[in-house]
Amino acid sequence: MTDVPQEGRLYRQLPAFWRVRDAEEGWPLRALLAAIEEQVTAVEDDIARLYDGLFVETADPWILPYIGDLVGTTPLFDVSAVPEPSTWRALFGDLAGAAPLPGEPSRLMPTIAARTRPDIAKTIYYRRRKGTAPMLEELARDVTGWPAHVVEFFKILGWTQWLRNHVRHGRGGWVDLRSTRVAELVQGAFDDTTRTVDVRPFDAFVGRHGIPKIGFFLWRLVAQPLDRLDARVADEPWRWRFSPLGHDAPLFTRTRREADETGQATELHVPAPIRRGLLFADLEAARAATAATSELYGPFGTSEIAAAGETSLHVALVQPDGSSLEVPAHRIRCMTLDPWRRPSGDLVGIDARLGRIALGDDLSAAAVRVACCLGSVAGIGGGAYARTGWLTRRTPDMALYTVGEGGAATLRDALASWDADGKPDAVIRILDNRSYHETSSGSALEIEPADPDPTTGKRGILAIEAADRARPHLRLDMPLAILGDHPESMITLGGLLIEGAIAVTGTLRRLRLLHCTLVPGLTIAETGPAWQPPAAPVAPSLTVVDTFDGAVANTGLSVECAFSITGPLRMPAHARQLVVLDGVVDGVNTAAIAGMDADDDAPPLVLERCTVFGTIRALRLPMMDTAIATGLVRIERRDDGCVRFSYTAPGSRTPHRVRCQPDLAEAEAIAEAEKAAGGPLPQPARDAAAAIARRRMQPVFTTLRYGQPGYAQLGRTCPAGIAAGAEDGSAMGVTCHLKEPQRLGNLRRRLDEYLPLGLEPGIVFVT
């Protein structure tokens, strides 16, 4: 649009004499010029758009394919072109990122990879460096959105040296088996040990080392930098864990870019678990220089390195008087703390592999405040990622209460202030990553919402949410209770890490969990990767009562979970609905979704792009789309609803199924067997072929343990029918929105264009 004021522009150019005459005649000339000016403005705007269309930075989206064709680039899959799910628009129209008008862009869809505009803009930039390893590495990072490292394997092949030519001292000899660095890096992206030629085809595990082979190592996990976390004390006052949940989990390096475009990524640039050897060498360098910070260690956002957002961990000791004592890098020691052992003097030991902290003999602390990077599969369950669009859109009549610096000390205090003010429509926003032990006084945290009041315009809305990129931890020894008879009220919880349960003991209209985590099993304190669930069924994360004051209750309740992780869910069958979108429901060792008991039916379910670990029992299933259910699904009324592009355990009873697994795998196996036999097979042979297909077509996950970095991520060996089984070719389950198969397809298209002739590429997922 032009910046010149439009209204009356032509009319103001007339001499004052004619404007006076026009006023005497009743403004006919002004009306004529107003009609002409409207068309002039349209022509000027069209000229401005045409000018903007000459540049890739300002061109309209419909022009971009033509610019790409002009420079000869191959169009890629653009995640920004993926339409927003209709269920989001129906349920979350009141959020800050929801499109207020049709056709306007939404900020609910996460950005996961390079889009069409920057890809076209960098085409010439890529071609000027075509074929070089740094360029290929940057290309892989840009088109996939994953940190990448390129290895030219012919450079690390061992061969007999010719003394008359340039001698390569590192390309021969024996591997130092005493080197811990070699042991930690073997078969990894940064393994530089010399190898003999491997002529097998390149895949993730074998066939890497050869003259024409080049490897692209990709890190799918993201490292979320969390500052000012409250570490969790263990069984001794000198034993602590980085995780506020008190479990063992590896610490990650923070993702950073290389210093210049000619360099390649190192271990310091990719989001990977911190090796003990890497941390040891880094701290030894800081110790030799008596430095307070190092490449890996330092406070977030204060030191020179941290100012660039590059340090990965830090420890500060909080004294009984509230003062904080930052531990410098030269007093940090890299240790193996399994089993626990205490360092001497004023030293602090860190085990990056387990996320443990040990204070020295001369040290004590009332609390330990840490900063670290924790690995996760995607932006789900809350964390240090952008989710501005998922915050509640505040209207002028909504009050705002804050918890943290400059606000209330605890959520309980903020709720008390809200209650004292008459329970207006409000947003309670928690500003930091601290841990809030809300039940330390021995009483449960209770919320009783207000009823809507048409006379005052009150809508009965309360939202408790974390600030953008914050992940506060609510530690609850007793369930968070939602009280009272309020059948038209709504409560929204957003961005919270809740170690405990939620109990709806009254009535409610809507309960929404947006980017929240209700820890499966209620707590994972003192556990690690090898932890096994208890024999007794774990307690549910959410329970809803079916009666209130002797009458049937919550018939109109809708529970809606989006981008959230929860434990078992228990709701009465007469409730309105349970909606799970882009999230995880983990039953641990009991039914994931059920009624009041594990053997009762839940209300009507809508499951879209989610992963459910455990069995499901429900009255109806109106929609199950692009989901994974590892347990049996038992639906009472199967004449209503649909299951599309999903996986359910064999033996499930569901409504009409459309291109689901393992159905497709069974049909394909039987068809192949009949083709090989040259005709129809007897029923026993058909059953045998189907049984083999069912065993092969099962989801494979990196880990099923909540709290570990690869939780709910589909593994490298997951069958393609599941890993690329969605309607658009993406993965089934909670990682559908990541569009991993499409991102890999983008990389392969670009490699066809930019890879030097004769090289054989191989793509390896490191995480």
User: How many CA atoms within 13 Å lie on the side-chain side of 317?
Assistant: 23
Under DSSP, is residue 633 helix (H, G, I), strand (E, B) or coil?
strand
- In this prediction, residue 29 carries a pLDDT of 82
Q: Please give the full DSSP string across 6-74, using - where no structure is assigned.
A: -TTHHHHTS-HHHHHHHHHTTSHHHHHHHHHHHHHHHHHHHHHHHHHTTSTTT--GGGHHHHHHHHTPP
Domain assignment of residue 267, yes or no: yes
- Confidence category of residue 303, pLDDT binned at 50, 70, 90: very low
Using left for φ > 0, alpha for ψ between -120 and 50, and beta otherwise, residue 712 falls in left
**Beta-strand (E) ranges in 377-417?**
399-403
Tell me what pLDDT residue 114 has: 66
Residue with the two structure tokens 């910070």: 293
Residue 275 lies in a domain: yes
Instruction: Convert the pLDDT of each residue in 505-555 to its tens digit.
Output: 999 999 999 999 999 999 999 887 777 778 889 999 999 999 998 899 999
213 Cα distance to chain centroid? 33
Q: Per-residue pLDDT tens for 244-288?
A: 999 999 999 999 888 777 789 899 999 999 999 999 999 999 999
105 preceded by a cis bond (ω within 30 of 0): no
Q: 625: pLDDT confidence band, cut at 50, 70 and 90?
A: very high
Q: With contact defined as beta carbons under 8 Å apart, do 292 and 303 qualify?
A: yes
At CA 491, angle to CA 487 and CA 493, rounded to 5?
155
Average pLDDT over residues 562-573: 97
Q: Indicate the pLDDT class of residue 100, thresholds 50, 70 and 90.
A: low
* Structural domain includes residue 464: no
Is residue 444 a part of any domain in this protein? no
Helix (H) or strand (E) holding 584: strand 584-586
Range among 2-11, 163-172, 514-523 rated most confident: 514-523
Q: Can you give the C-alpha Rg of the chain in angstroms?
A: 30
Q: Which residue has 């008390």 as its token pair?
A: 416
Residue 533 in 3-state DSSP?
coil
Domain presence at residue 574: no
Let me know if residue 340 belongs to a domain: yes
Segments forming the whole domain that contains residue 34: 9-52
Handedness of CA 588, 562, 224, 84 (dihedral sign): positive
Is the residue at 476 inside a domain? no
Whether the pLDDT of residue 604 is over 60: the answer is: yes
The secondary structure of 254-315, three-state, reads CCCCCCCCCCCCCCCCCCCECCHHHHHHHHHHHHHCCCCCCCCECCCCCCHHHHCCCCCEEE
The 621-625 sheet, strands edge to edge: 399-403, 426-430, 461-466, 490-494, 510-514, 558-562, 577-581, 605-608, 621-625, 641-644, 656-658
Contact 541, 524 (CB under 8 A): no
Q: What local confidence, expressed as pLDDT, does residue 105 receive?
A: 61
How many domains, the chain? 3
Least confident span in 21-25, 126-130, 346-350? 21-25
Report whether pLDDT(572) > 60. yes
CA distance 566 to 611: 11
Question: 721: pLDDT confidence band, cut at 50, 70 and 90?
Answer: very high
For 95, how many CA atoms within 13 A lie in the half-sphere containing its CB? 26
pLDDT digits (tens, 9 = 90+) for 666-708: 999 999 988 888 888 889 988 999 999 999 999 999 999 999 9
Quote the mean pLDDT of the chain: 90
pLDDT at 60: 85
Where residue 543 falls (left for φ over 0; alpha for ψ -120 to 50; beta otherwise) is beta
Q: Give the helix/strand (H/E) hosting 430.
A: strand 426-430
Whether the per-residue pLDDT at 475 is higher than 80: the answer is yes
Confidence of residue 6 (pLDDT cuts 50, 70, 90): very low
Average pLDDT over residues 474-487: 95
Distance in angstroms (rounded) separating the CA atoms of residues 420 and 400? 14
- Taking the CA atoms of 677, 683, 686 and 687 in sequence, report the sign of the dihedral they define: negative
Residues 714/735, Cβ–Cβ less than 8 Å: yes
Cα–Cα dist 566/520, whole Å:
6
Distances (CA, A) of 574 to 246, 505, 587, 616, 620: 38, 16, 22, 16, 11
Residue closest to 631 by CA, chosen among 607, 643, 613: 613
Residue 507 in any domain: the answer is: no
